[in-house]
Amino acid sequence: MLLCSVLLGCTPERDAESMLENYLWRLSNVLELDVPASTLSTLTPLPRTRDRRLSVSAFEIGLLDFLSVQGCSLGELVGYRNSSLGRVMPDSQRLVYEIDFVDSVDRCVPRLDPQSDVELIHQLSTVRDRKYAEIGIHFWNAIFAGPEFGQLFSASAALPNPDQVDQTPAALAASQQLLALLSHSDPRAAPALALDRAQLESALAQLSAGGAGGQLRQRIAVLQDTLVRATLMLNQATDARAICPMQRPTERGRTLRNVFDLFFAGDIQPYAVPIFNHGVLLLDALTALRERGAVSPPPAMQGFWQQALGTDKSSEFGRFKRVWQGHIKAWQDALGACQLMPGQG
């Protein structure tokens, strides 16, 4: 193994939990304090699929009426919707269908005779307006009620090790691709464009790959627990003036500075900063997708969104940010009392 490491540059994969526990152990040793007990709790799970879905109208025009419309593609669309495959189409494909339907009606009605097709024009316009009003609901269901979103925030996603590739940028790219697709295919925008089925399914598949959202939540929870415990030890030692009683550098103070350099700046910071940066971008992208549909989420998702997908003070991410800032301050106070902060002295 040593020969492999030297000649090939291959090193054993680091374990995230071991790295965090080592950080606590190093602090405990130099501060001569017991590591506080963990308060890590189970994360609130993503609501079930049925609790994430918004209901839509089941109203459809009869097939015969559509077949009587010459020169339009509505008969084909409704025929597919009434087929065995059309009746069980996933939410992502239902979104494509609804966009195609509204767009087709908008192109079809001007071709009809306003004198002889009065009833048909009225029927088409009635259904078109209802479907038009529900496009945002289909946006929501396709993205947030689909299996891909469930996989994105799977609670079974393993906590990645520091040396593993972070899946969050891939999920972020998929979110941005979805936003671009949906922004250019909404019949409420002009001009209306068809939504490419293949591109939509590809973006959704990329969104779910790796369970980046679930990993992000786990990383935040475990890291936050570590930082809270480490901050308690640093604050306790600082308040007791146990490291540098005369507020001058001591041997223990210099050892603490080594822990800061090697294990906080060397391990924890490089691990935490991408989590923070990528997390903000991913949550912002998901919020942009939600706002694109301009609908209120189901009650179960409103609470989950505020807690797990928000970035305000009451959210998981907001609490993590405050804990991170509190830990930085604890280091500043501890090393500052010894005149050992970087750039000090």
Please write the tens of the pLDDT for every residue from 198-207: 888 888 888 8
CA angle 318/321/326 to nearest 5° reads: 130
Least confident of 24-33, 179-188, 286-295, 306-315: 179-188
**Per-residue confidence at 64, pLDDT binned at 50, 70, 90?**
very low
**Per-residue confidence at 208, pLDDT binned at 50, 70, 90?**
confident
Enumerate long-range contacts of 228-232, CB under 8 Å, 24 or more apart. 228/36, 228/39, 228/323, 229/24, 229/35, 229/36, 229/37, 229/38, 230/23, 230/24, 230/27, 230/327, 230/330, 231/323, 231/326, 231/327, 231/330, 232/36
**Per-residue confidence at 95, pLDDT binned at 50, 70, 90?**
confident
Q: Is a pLDDT exceeding 60 seen at residue 152?
A: yes
Contact indicator for 303, 157 with CB cutoff of 8 Å:
no
Q: How far is it, in rounded angstroms, from Cα 263 to Cα 215?
A: 23
Q: Is a pLDDT exceeding 50 seen at residue 6?
A: no
Of the spans 12-21, 275-284, 293-302, 321-330, which averages the highest pLDDT? 321-330
Q: Is a pLDDT exceeding 70 seen at residue 43?
A: yes
pLDDT reported for residue 52: 94
Residue ranges of alpha helices (H) inside 71-111 are 74-81, 84-87, 91-108
Of the spans 76-80, 99-103, 223-227, which averages the highest pLDDT? 223-227
The percent of residues above 70 in pLDDT, for the chain, comes to 83
pTM of the model: 0.83
The percent of residues above 90 in pLDDT, for the chain, comes to 39
pLDDT reported for residue 158: 63
**Per-residue confidence at 5, pLDDT binned at 50, 70, 90?**
very low
